[in-house]
Amino acid sequence: MKLSKLAEKTFSTIEKGDADLQIESAAGLDIAERGEVTFLANPKYTPQIRETKASAIFLNENVSLEREDIAVLRAKDAYLAYTRALRLFFPEPEIVFSIHKTAVIDETAKIAEAVEIQANVVIGKNCEIAENVKIFPNVTIYDGVKIGANTTIHSGVSIRENCEIGANCIIHNNSTIGSDGFGYAKDEEKRWLKIPQVGRVVLEDDVEIGANTAIDCASVGETRIKRGAKIDNLVQIGHSCTVEEDTLICSQTGLAGSSVIGKRVILAGQVGIAGHLKVGDDVVITAKSATSHDVENGKIISGVPAFDNRDWLRSIAAFRRLGEMTKTIRELEKRLIELEKSK
């Protein structure tokens, strides 16, 4: 692809370099080769610019380049422009319309003609699979599941009874959609009586679910992951939760039951959200934090339990010196006693 075409497709402008320069791929600063385009977004990697073999680079405004042998594509957001370049160079592989002979599909299931269903996939009663769906091997789809167009289900995934998966979704390997919520009532003999979990999970369009993640169905009603939300690997979503549009949930985060996570929220890695609470829109909860209270829109919070991030930064700075602080207080007390005596 010519540099001029690349610029056009990535909404960037050629600031330096030959419009006819041939660019064949895209890669990070450290591994890009001649003929490839790279990017700089995180200033931490600026020193790598001296070493990179890339032939072109996406740069944010206000970032200068001291090398003469690299074409510069100026972008409002270099990371976004690079993402678009990657998407040009690495388009999704085409679907090969086919149903493998070892797939076990119940005769009541409605399968669109243009699908790819690979080996050993099992599809239950009354399922509906839309066009351009691709299902990798050893996937199990229980009865009554609906899967929207252009969705990809990777190997080892289980989708339980009556769940609904939207269009353009991706579910990565070995994840579980719709397993029973963790609900028990204590009976008169202090034993746990299972609360039936007969609800379902709904993933709306454009949702991506990582590998080895578990999303529980509601006891009655539904657990819902809304349009454009992205969920990483090894995440736990408890029963009856709602995750609103465009929210990111990073790896190993867990949501207990019945909580609502607002729009465009970012839950970093290993975060914990207690049950029955509301996290507002645009909230950021930093890694390893947890909250058992509602969180207002737009807050950035940290800690266990989490509070305002700036206050937390002050608290953790003091925490490092807490041993010393104990000593200081003890000393102050001694000096105070001296003064009191001498009064």
- Going from the C-alpha of 30 to that of each of 45, 51, 57, 191, the distances in angstroms are 9, 8, 12, 58
Per-residue buried b or exposed e for 282-303, using 16+ beta carbons within 10 Å of the residue's own CB: bbbbbebbbbeeebeeebbbbb
Instruction: For residues 69 and 29, give the distance between their C-alpha atoms in angstroms, rounded to a whole number.
Output: 14
Judged by CB under 8 A, which stretch of 50-58, 108-116, 126-134, 213-221 contacts its own copies? 213-221
Q: 110 or 125, CB closer to its own copies?
A: 125
Sites for its own copies among residues 146-205 (CB under 8 A): 154-156, 158, 160, 170, 172-176, 179-180, 182, 184-187, 190-196, 198
Q: Strand pairing of 176-179 and 184-186? A: unpaired
Q: 113 or 317, CB closer to its own copies?
A: 317
Give the x/- contact pattern for its own copies in 261-300, rule: CB under 8 A: ---x----xx-x-x-x----------xx-x-x--------
Contacts of 321 (CB under 8 A, 6+ apart): none
Task: For the sheet with 164-165, list strands across it.
Answer: 110-111, 128-129, 146-147, 164-165, 200-203, 222-225, 242-243, 260-261, 278-279
* 140 belongs to the binding site for its own copies (CB under 8 A): yes
Sites for its own copies among residues 85-114 (CB under 8 A): 86-87, 89-90, 100, 102, 104
Instruction: For residues 136 and 270, give the distance between their C-alpha atoms in angstroms, rounded to a whole number.
Output: 29
Judged by CB under 8 A, which stretch of 51-59, 61-69, 108-116, 328-336 contacts its own copies? 328-336
Instruction: For residues 180 and 61, give the distance between their C-alpha atoms in angstroms, rounded to a whole number.
Output: 50
Question: From the CB of 68, what's the least distance to its own copies, in Å?
Answer: 25
Judged by CB under 8 A, which stretch of 53-61, 62-70, 73-81, 107-115 contacts its own copies? 73-81
Which of 1, 21, 80, 99 is in the footprint of its own copies by CB under 8 A?
A: 80
Q: 20 or 191, CB closer to its own copies?
A: 191
* 256 belongs to the binding site for its own copies (CB under 8 A): yes
